[in-house]
Chains A and B, each alone.
Chain A
Amino acid sequence: MKSSFFRFSAAATLLLSTAVAGQAETIKVGVVAPFSGPFALYGKQFQEAIEVYQAQHGTSAGEHDIEFIYKDSGGPNPDQARSLTQELLIKEQVDYLAGYVFTPNALSVAPLLDQSETPLVIFNAATSAINAQSDFYLRTSYTLWQVSAPLAEWAYEQGIRDVVTTVTDYGPGIDAENAFVTAFEEAGGTILDSIRMPLSTSDFTPFIQSIREQSPDALFTFLPGGPPTFGFTKTYNENGLREEGIMFLGTAETEESNLQGFGDAGIGLTTAYHYSADHDSELNREFIAKNVEMHPDAVTNWATIGAYDGTHVIYEMVKNAGADGPAAVESVLGLEWESPRGPLTMDPETRTVIQNVYIREVERDEDSGLLVNREKGVIATVGDLGWAE
Chain B
Amino acid sequence: MTDTTITPKRTGRIAGIPFLGEAILIALVLAAYFLFPYNLAFLTRILIMVLLVLSLDLVLGFAGIATLGQAAMYGTGAYAAGLFAVHVTGAPLPGLVVGALAGAVLAFISGLVLMRARGLTLIMLTIAVASICHEIANKARDVTGGADGLRGIRMEPVLGLFEFDFIGKTAYWYVFVVVFVVFLLLKRLANAPLGLSLKGLHESPERMAAIGAPVYRRLVLAYTLGGGIAGVAGALAAQVTQLVSLEVYSFNLSAEALIMLILGGTGRLYGAIIGTVIFMTVHHVAAAADPFNWLFLIGLMVLGVVFFLPKGLAHLPTALTRLVRGRT
Contacts and interface: CB of A to CB of B under 8 A. Distances in A.
A7 B39 CA distance: 12
A250 interface: no
Given A87-B42, A103-B147, A133-B151, A78 B245 contact: yes
Interface residues of A, number: 46
A368 interface: no
A76 B248 CA distance: 10
A346 to B, nearest CB: 23
B168 interface: yes
**Nearest 5 pairs of A and B residues by beta carbon:** A171-B147, A91-B38, A104-B149, A35-B291, A83-B41
Nearest to B245: A104
A5 B243 contact: no
10 contacts: A36-B292, A37-B295, A70-B291, A75-B247, A76-B246, A79-B45, A82-B241, A108-B245, A170-B146, A171-B141
Contacts, number: 116
Contacts of B242: 108, 111
Given A36-B294, A71-B291, A72-B294, A7 B45 contact: no
Main secondary structure of the interface of B (DSSP, over half): helix
Nearest to B298: A36
Contacts of A11: 37-38, 167
Interface string B133-149: 00000110100001111
Contacts of A43: 291-292
Which of B149, B288, B291, B294 lies at the interface centre, i.e. has the most chain A CB atoms within 10 A of its CB? B291
B167 A91 contact: no
A5 B167 contact: no
Contacts of A72: 287, 291-292, 294
Interface in A151-175: 169-172, 174
Contact of B243 (A1, A78, A172): A78
Interface string B230-263: 0000000100111111110000000000000000
A110 B300 CA distance: 36
Contacts of A129: 148
B44 interface: yes
B167 A90 contact: yes
Nearest to A110: B151
Contacts of A103: 147-149
A261 B294 CA distance: 29
A84 to B, nearest CB: 8
Interface string B166-190: 1110000000000000000000000
Which of A7, A87, A169, A174 counts the most chain B CB atoms within 10 A?
Answer: A87
B243 A127 contact: no
A100 B293 CA distance: 20
Size category, B interface? 35 or more
Interface of A: 1, 4-5, 7-8, 11-12, 15, 35-37, 40, 43-44, 70-72, 75-80, 82-83, 86-87, 90-91, 103-104, 107-108, 110-112, 115-116, 127, 129, 133, 169-172, 174
Nearest to A10: B37
Contacts of A108: 149, 241-243, 245
Contacts of B287: 35-36, 71-72
B159 interface: no
B291 A36 contact: yes
B323 interface: no
B148 A79 contact: no
A129 B42 CA distance: 27
B34 interface: yes
Given A108-B241, A116-B166, A4 B34 contact: yes
Contacts of A15: 166-167
Nearest to A129: B148
Contact of A104 (B39, B166, B168, B247): B247
Contacts of A86: 40-41, 166-168
Given A78-B245, A82-B243, A174-B141, A107 B294 contact: no
B35 interface: yes
A35 B292 contact: yes
A70 B291 CA distance: 7
A309 B210 CA distance: 71
Nearest to A35: B291
B249 to A, nearest CB: 12
Contact of B39 (A78, A87, A110, A174): A87
A79 B34 contact: no
Contacts of B295: 36-37
B146 A78 contact: no
Interface in B27-85: 34-35, 37-42, 44-45
Contacts of B288: 71
Contacts of A5: 34
B242 to A, nearest CB: 6
A107 B145 CA distance: 12
Given A87-B42, A104-B243, A108-B241, A40 B149 contact: no
A170 B138 contact: yes
A104 B167 contact: no
A127 B146 contact: no
A79 B237 contact: yes
A261 B220 CA distance: 50
B291 A8 contact: no
B85 to A, nearest CB: 13
A12 B169 CA distance: 12
A225 to B, nearest CB: 15
Contact of A170 (B44, B147, B240): B147
The CB with the most chain B CB atoms within 10 A, among A44, A70, A78, A127, is that of A78
Given A76-B245, A79-B241, A171 B148 contact: yes
A77 B292 CA distance: 17
